[in-house]
Structure 1
C-alpha cells in the first residue's frame, strides 16, 4: 500500500510542478507570453483597461495582484478545470481540449497498440529464424523504417495512397458531408476510415526499433537455461515460444509501451497538422501560429499530465504482468 501511495503522491507533485512551470512561463519570464499577449492586445486597439480584463480572462491571472495571489488564483482555476480562454477560437481552453482530446487519444492509443502488436509478433518470428534471409531482410526493413521521420512517410502516404490511388482520405476527422449521429455505424466507420493514414504513418515508422528490440529480447531469452531445460523435457516448440520465450521477452517492453503513448501524443502535433486532423495536436500548432498562449499552455499541461499518468499506470500494473516485482524475486519466470 505504501508503494502505491508513494507513486500516487509522486504523480500529484509532478503535475503540480508542471502547473507551476506553466505559471512561470506565463508570468515570470521577462519578455514571456504574458508580455507578448499584452502587446498583441494593444496592437489590436484595445484600451488599457480592456487589455487587463482580457489578460485576466485568458490566463486566469490578475496582472496587478501580488505574485502569490496570482499563483493561488491560477492553481485554483486549474483544480476547477478552468484552463482559461482561447484567443484564436473565442472558446474556453477546456472546451477546445474536451472536443479534440478524444480524437488525439484514439490516434495515440491505436498507434501504440498496433506498434507493439506488430513488434511482438514480427520480432519473435525474426528471432526464431535468426540468421536466415528472412531475418536479414526484416532487420534491414526495420532499420529503414526507424530511420525515416514519420512526417516524411505521412506526406508520402498522402501523395501515393491518397492522391494517386485514392484509397483513403487525406484530410479531416470524418467526412464533412456526413450527417449521422455520434457513435452511429456511419460515424464510427467514417472516423476509422479517416484515421488510417495518420495512424499508418506513425505505426510504420515507430515499429522499426520496437521490432528489433523484441528480436533482441527473444534471442536473449532463447539462450536462457530454463529454455534448454524445457526442450530437454520434450515440450513442443509452440509451447516454449508462447509460454517461456514470448512471456519473458515482452516484459521489458511493457513500460516502454505505456511511455510511448506520451511520445505519440507529442507526435500528433505534426501529424494532425499534415492531415488537418482536428485533435489537440492540431490546435497546439494553430495556437503556436496565432500566438494563442492560453491554448498552448493548456494543451502543454494536458499532454504532460497524460504522460505522467501513463507512467503511473505502468507502475501500478507492472506487478500484475510480472509477479516477481511484487515479491522482489529477480529470477526468470517460468
Structure 2
C-alpha cells in the first residue's frame, strides 16, 4: 500500500516540476511571453495605459509584477484549469486543447495498438521459425522499417495515395460541413482522413515491435518450463498462447504505455504534414504566432500524458505479473 501511495504522490509533484520548467523556459525565449500580445493590443488601438490591464485579463498574469508573483498567478490559474487566452485564436487555451486533444489521442492510440498487435504477431511467428528464410527476410525488413522516420512514410503516402491517386483526402480530420449529427457519413469521413496518418505512424513501429517480440519469444522458448510443458504432451497451441506469448509480451507492456505518451508529442510533424487538427498542429501554429499561452498548454498536456502513462504502467505491471514485487525492491 505504501508503494502505491508513494507513486501516486509523485504525480502532482512531477506535474508541478514540469509546469515550473515550462514557465521558466518560455520566459527565456526572445521577446518574452507578452511582447506579441502587447503589439497586437497596440495595433488594435488599445491605449498604452490599458495594455497591461488587458494582458492580465487575458492571461491571468500581471505582466508588470515580479517574476515570482507571475509564477504564483500562473500556478493558481493552472489549479483552476485556466491556462489563459490564446493570443492567435482569441479563445481560452483549455477550449483549444479540448478540441484538439481527441484527434491526437485517436491517431496515437489507434496507430500504437495496430503497431503492437501486428508487430507481436509477426515477432511470435519469427521466434517459432527462428533461422528460417521467413525469419531472415522479415528481420531485414523490420530493420529497414526502423531506420526510416515515420514522416518519410507520411510524405510518400500523401504524395502517392492522396495527391497522385486521389484515394484519400489530403488534409483535415473530416469533410467540411460534416458533424457527428450527420451520422454514418461523418464517421466514414473521419476514418478516410485518418487512414494515411495512422498508416504512416504505424508502419515504422511495427519493425521494432516485431524484433522485440522475436527476442523475447526466443528467450522464453529456451526456458525449462516450456520444455516441461512439451514433455507433458501439451499441444503447440496451448504452449504458444499460455506459456510463450503471455511471458514474451509482459516485458513489452510497460514500453507500450510509455510509447503512447512519447508518441503524443511525436505527432507534431505528422499533423503538420497532413494538416490534421490535433495537438501537434496547434503547437506548430502557436510557435509560428508566438502564442505563448497556447504553447505552454500544449507542452503541459504532452508531458502530463507521459507522466500518467508511466504511472499507469508502474501501477499495473505488478498486477499483470505477480512475480514482480512492489515496494520491497524499491530501495526507498
TM over 0.5: yes
Task: State the TM-score, normalizing by the size of structure 2.
Answer: 0.92
Q: Match for residue 105 of structure 1?
A: 105
Give the distance between the partners of 1:2 and 1:179, measured in 2 at CA.
Answer: 48
Q: Match for residue 14 of structure 2?
A: 14
Question: Kindly tell me: are residues 23 and 57 of structure 1, through their superposed partners in 2, closer, same or farther at Cα, counting changes over 3 Å?
Answer: farther
Q: Secondary structure at the match of 1:175?
A: coil
Q: Secondary structure at the match of 1:277?
A: coil
1:87-106 superposed Cα distances (whole Å, 9 cap, x missing partner): 11111111100111111111
Q: Is the contact made by 2:170 and 2:274 (CA closer than 8 Å) also made in structure 1?
A: yes
Give the distance between the partners of 1:167 and 1:31, measured in 2 at CA.
Answer: 44
Q: Match for residue 322 of structure 1?
A: 321
Question: Kindly tell me: are residues 327 and 19 of structure 1, through their superposed partners in 2, closer, same or farther at Cα, counting changes over 3 Å?
Answer: closer
1:275-323 superposed Cα distances (whole Å, 9 cap, x missing partner): 1110111100111111111111111011110110111111121122112
Q: Match for residue 176 of structure 1?
A: 176
Q: Match for residue 139 of structure 2?
A: 139
Q: Is the contact made by 1:26 and 1:32 (CA closer than 8 Å) also made in structure 2?
A: no
1:92-145 superposed Cα distances (whole Å, 9 cap, x missing partner): 111100111111111111111111111111110111111111111111111111
Give the distance between the partners of 1:257 and 1:204, measured in 2 at CA.
Answer: 15
Post-superposition offset of 1:40 = 4.3
Q: Secondary structure at the match of 1:33?
A: coil
Q: Is the contact made by 2:3 and 2:327 (CA closer than 8 Å) also made in structure 1?
A: no
Q: Match for residue 130 of structure 1?
A: 130
Q: Match for residue 205 of structure 2?
A: 206
Counterpart mapping for 1:1-334 below 5 A:
1-27=1-27, 29=28, 31=30, 33-34=32-33, 36-37=35-36, 40-41=39-40, 44=43, 47-178=47-178, 181=181, 184-326=183-325
Q: Secondary structure at the match of 1:34?
A: coil
Give the distance between the partners of 2:326 and 2:71, measured in 1 at CA.
Answer: 43
Q: Secondary structure at the match of 1:273?
A: helix
Larger mean Cα displacement after TM superposition, 33-42 or 126-135: 33-42
Q: Structure 1: where are the runs of 5+ without partners?
A: none
Question: Kindly tell me: are residues 328 and 127 of structure 1, through their superposed partners in 2, closer, same or farther at Cα, counting changes over 3 Å?
Answer: farther
Q: Is the contact made by 1:319 and 1:326 (CA closer than 8 Å) also made in structure 2?
A: yes
Give the distance between the partners of 2:193 and 2:30, measured in 1 at CA.
Answer: 41
1:248-274 superposed Cα distances (whole Å, 9 cap, x missing partner): 110110010000112211121111111
Larger mean Cα displacement after TM superposition, 238-247 or 41-50: 41-50
Q: Is the contact made by 1:38 and 1:55 (CA closer than 8 Å) also made in structure 2?
A: yes
Q: Is the contact made by 2:42 and 2:51 (CA closer than 8 Å) also made in structure 1?
A: no
1:232-255 superposed Cα distances (whole Å, 9 cap, x missing partner): 111111111111111111011001
Give the distance between the partners of 1:327 and 1:307, measured in 2 at CA.
Answer: 21
Give the distance between the partners of 2:60 and 2:25, measured in 1 at CA.
Answer: 14
Q: Structure 2: where are the runs of 5+ without partners?
A: none
Q: Is the contact made by 2:81 and 2:94 (CA closer than 8 Å) also made in structure 1?
A: yes
Task: State the TM-score, normalizing by the size of structure 1.
Answer: 0.92
